[in-house]
Structure 1
């Protein structure tokens, strides 16, 4: 078939099969800066009229549109005045952007690779995108007439955008925290709702809501005061008259939340008393983010948060708690009505409940919970919760009965134990055992044997768990705490909860190869004796474990490796296949040259992150070596090639099963990174390798970032535009959820054969515009309804699916993976 005869979609599909790779803004060598501007600077004070002119121009720029006057002023305080003669370049394609410009007089043309593509006149702002993106200029701007231009500091420009976003987020979270309706939302969910809020200003006597109106938004008073009226009516002129004032709402007050749940219209009218500013979140936006039945969703979140607080239930993963939720019963009780006697967990959703716990009186208010000490007890012992009754105003409670708990545990593959204490301990160990990667091949019975063999050991800070050179008799799983591993007194890694140590001596009958000490205040470890361990370890698990152990052997240097051949080369460095002289173990060795005697920042960042990650779907970093001129990174050898190449070897688009397999694997990886608060930021087929069995291995953490404790956002615009989420481009801050957008782009590429946005574009500015504005459309040949639903959720520009606790849970809820399981 000739290309002229192909329909457009088929052309795109064949184009996908080409070898073109999308490249992000990760250049190691900084491009030239805009030092040429100094020669065009003219000393000039900014006058009042000019300042107003520049403000108006900046507010027309999409990057500055959300800035308030104070933030714009902070940018204007850094401006310099420039004069350019006709024909003079103002910015040059390929140079690093350091200045944000506003034209006062004159005209300019914009060209890309020598081809004119736009013009700029007086009152236009330009140059901001490259600053935000931290990338070279993507176009040349040249004066076509004598022109006067103001240029502001790029640092001040980016700081103002970030400060604006941070301030808005803080104000909005304060608004959400003040509303009881949002009590059940997680921090991540609140951040998503915060993204959907907006400010609205009302002048004196303006109506905010009118009696009889249906609910359209929830409001929070940011500034000013509101008057609340009963009765009255609205004249044909729009004036409200004859109402009786019954109250006032001031700063930090909120209203409208009760109507969201009740779905009843307002029975009051609220007017602005003087000028007021309100923060609002529309009901329509909330439905997009949380679902159509807001009352049910918010109630479900309240139950979920209550379960997280229960000591036993808190040990379960998000997906396991989701299974428990299916067995929770919600009931309404009239005043003084007695609650069901079989309840083992009670969470108060509305009203109050009182009764006895361990024969002591307790009273529970909204949001409180109580857990029976015999929650998991297999005996018929009476509950420690007795005589629970609703308060004078009645109560709405969520309950989990003993039978419900038993059914949930059975569905999860967790058995009930013989005593409350044993049950709690057993449940925690089963949950944790299932998280340890080396146990993933075990059957349910084998996992139980592991758990039954665990012996709890507690250590204080500074204590030695195992010592290098001593015989090994036990294998340890870290239940709580942080440990540091030393080889020959040199720290090589830190290990946290769910990691394991001591396996080498058990399998290979060798002395301990490292010393492990407790660095946290204390640590709790679970130990399995050698004899039991050897009985359990077999088959796939033994093979995988032995391979992981060999990768952890770092007690050798470059001189112990033989170079076999070059297996890759690029701008970042050369990758060679190497072999250990003694063991025959093969690795990949990447050499990166130092810049001015220093290891490049992105290489330092990648090594730092990979050092502490141990996951079967993430490339294992074995060791790093430094010489005077280079740094060498030794990793596991991945022999299956790039996913980018693999999907292009398939003559058509990927089948449903293939797309499910690859996307499901990515979900597992991203959930792991999210739990560690790590943003990958450059997810694309080129950065995914395949191992010998065809499983995914995520590589290249050069622009990944671990968010500091307590932070949920970063602002740097970085990555590959075709796979980049809109939040990254807007400059208002983003979190780990942006990697799910990239996964959505990859899924679309898998099943449609081309990219969803800007498939035929390469200019970063044009690509960003397409990602921000173009509609999501599917190939006419793609008919999978569940797949479309999932991709619409992943590729929405609204913060919808990011509100879920579990990435995998969301994907399963869309039924895209329902017939194949988790992986």
Structure 2
């Protein structure tokens, strides 16, 4: 303990032109949101009775749409130092809007941020059109609280009228889906992407976060080829009181058998999905993609993993790597930390290896 000489107490005037900022969050132990402004509580449907109950983070009992998600994410960096008015209305700090994406409940635009001079992406979601409004706050809390070089992060979130605005890093490289549906990538590139995804998953899993929707469309790229996991709307938070999940959540072709069966599951579900994504990177699409979603889910649930790699040029190392992820017994399925030590990942290069593939995508 340091000893300091007591100084004379100073008279400090009351603050002027002061605006209180809310500090909201989610407590994984009690299962409660805290610090919400009243308007947020009303919008996402949290009543005083519900606030008094212990409940886990909302588990959406639904499945993401079959089509590739129209709205992709996100962000990195510190909130700019600026006056309080910027926090209450982001429109004061943004200009030159250009729409780049559209979904059923919102749009994504790029904009120039006046205070920093940088280009940002803004995800605008109409809250009144959301079937599960509480999921919006779920995504915002997870993205704010967990930061990693390979996890997309928010600059900030704002309530603008009936819309939730999420300011994000502009991911100029686009989604991994754009690359693998237009060209085939080699094993070195696959390994490079896998290393980055596994580093992100290792971090998230260490924090008790299950993403539950890992697929190529959830992997976004910077202009330098750095891969980052995005789209946290369906993630789940594990805790001492909620050590496993049961909800049917995700996109059918990438779902693990235990998720489809609604058995208790944890972070192992993301590893299965990553294994399917690796096959997706090899073939350009996941296994069973020509089968109707519900039929595909039944086949995944009832049958052993199908060897659907469509090329004879896959190395033994890559075959072994995939096999460790597509294990039905979750107790024997490899973890992210174990996979990071696999022989196949020695083929990984620097993220810039993806730049040539992004150029091919742009040319189309």
Deviations 1:394-440 (A, max 9, x none): xxxxxxxxxxxxxxxxxxxxxxxxxxxxxxxxxxxxxxxxxxxxxxx
Decide whether aligned partners of structure 1 residues 768 and 609 sit closer, same or farther in structure 2, where only a CA change above 3 A counts: same
1:768 aligns with 2:297: yes
| 3-state SS in 1 of match to 2:337 | helix
Asked whether the equivalents of residues 76 and 154 of structure 2 are also in contact (C-alpha less than 8 Å), the reply is: no
Partner residue, 2:109: 576
SS of residue matched to 2:266: coil
Match of 1:678 in 2: 209
Does residue 654 (structure 1) correspond to residue 182 (structure 2)? The answer is no
The aligned counterpart of 1:791 is 322
Bigger Rg, structure 1 or 2: 1
Quick one: distance in 2 between partners of 1:739 and 1:732? 15
Contact 2:196 2:228 in 1 (8 A): no
Any conservation in 1 of the 2:305–2:326 contact (CA below 8 Å)? no
**1:816 pairs with 341, 344, 364, which one?**
344
| TM superposition score normalised by structure 2 | 0.70
Specify which structure has the higher proportion of strand: 1
Relative to structure 1, the CA distance from residue 737 to residue 775 in structure 2 (aligned partners, 3 Å threshold; closer, same or farther) is closer
Shift of 1:698: 1.5
Distance, in Å, in 2 between the alignment partners of 1:716 and 1:723 is 15
Matched, 1:637 2:187: no
Map 1:332-411; keep pairs closer than 5 Å. Answer: none
Q: Which residue matches 1:288?
A: none
Gaps of 5+ in 2: 3-17, 26-74, 352-364
Rounded Cα–Cα distance in structure 2 between residues aligned with 1:661 and 1:714: 30
Residue in structure 2 matched with residue 619 of structure 1 by the alignment: 152
Between the aligned partners of 2:186 and 2:103, the Cα distance in structure 1 is: 32
Q: 1:638 to 1:821 in 2, by over 3 A?
A: closer
Deviation string for 1:133-162 (max 9, x for gaps)? xxxxxxxxxxxxxxxxxxxxxxxxxxxxxx
* Superposition deviation, residue 682 in structure 1: 0.6
Tell me the equivalent position of 1:728.
259
Instruction: Give the secondary-structure state (helix, strand or coil) at the position aligned to 1:626.
Output: strand
Partner in structure 1 of residue 127 of structure 2: 594
Gaps in structure 1 of 5+ consecutive residues: 1-456, 459-486, 495-546
Equivalent runs, 1:286-325 vs 2, <5 Å: none
Give 3-state SS (helix, strand or coil) of 2:317's partner. helix
Change (3 A) 1:713 1:581: same
Q: Is the 8 A contact 1:801 1:810 kept in 2?
A: no
Q: Which runs of 4+ in 1 moved over 3 A?
A: 491-494, 547-555, 596-599, 819-823
User: Which residue is 1:79 aligned to?
Assistant: none
Q: Does 1:782 align with 2:332?
A: no
Q: What is the SS of the residue equivalent to 2:234?
A: coil
1:807: which partner in 2? 336
**C-alpha distance 565-754 of structure 1, shift in aligned 2 (>3 A):** closer
Query: C-alpha separation between the residues in 2 aligned to 1:554 and 1:735?
Result: 41
Q: 1:580 to 1:603 in 2, by over 3 A?
A: same
Corresponding residue pairs, total: 280
Residues 553 and 722 of structure 1: CA distance in aligned 2, closer, same or farther (over 3 Å): farther
| CA–CA separation in structure 1 for the residues paired with 2:130 and 2:196 | 39
Instruction: Give the distance between the partners of 2:127 and 2:202, measured in 1 at CA.
Output: 33
SS at the partner of 1:577?
strand
Query: 1:554–1:622: 8 Å Cα contact kept in structure 2?
Result: no
1:683: Cα distance to partner? 0.7
Name the CA distance, whole Å, in 2 between partners of 1:613 and 1:625: 19
Task: Indicate how the Cα distance of structure 1 residues 775 and 743 shifts in structure 2: closer, same or farther if over 3 A, else same.
Answer: closer
**1:560 aligned residue (89, 93, 96):** 93
Q: Distance in 2 between matches of 1:754 and 1:493?
A: 39
Q: Deviations over 1:33-66 (max 9, x none)?
A: xxxxxxxxxxxxxxxxxxxxxxxxxxxxxxxxxx
Contact 1:493 1:611 in 2 (8 A): no
- Distance in 1, matches of 2:306 and 2:295, equals 16
- Say if 1:599 and 1:631, in contact at 8 Å, map to a contact too: no
User: What's the counterpart of residue 5 of structure 1?
Assistant: none
- The question of 1:628 aligning with 2:156 is answered no
| Deviation of the 1:548 alpha carbon | 5.7
Higher relative contact order (CA 8 A, sep 6+): 2
The alignment's TM-score, normalised by the length of structure 1, stands at 0.32
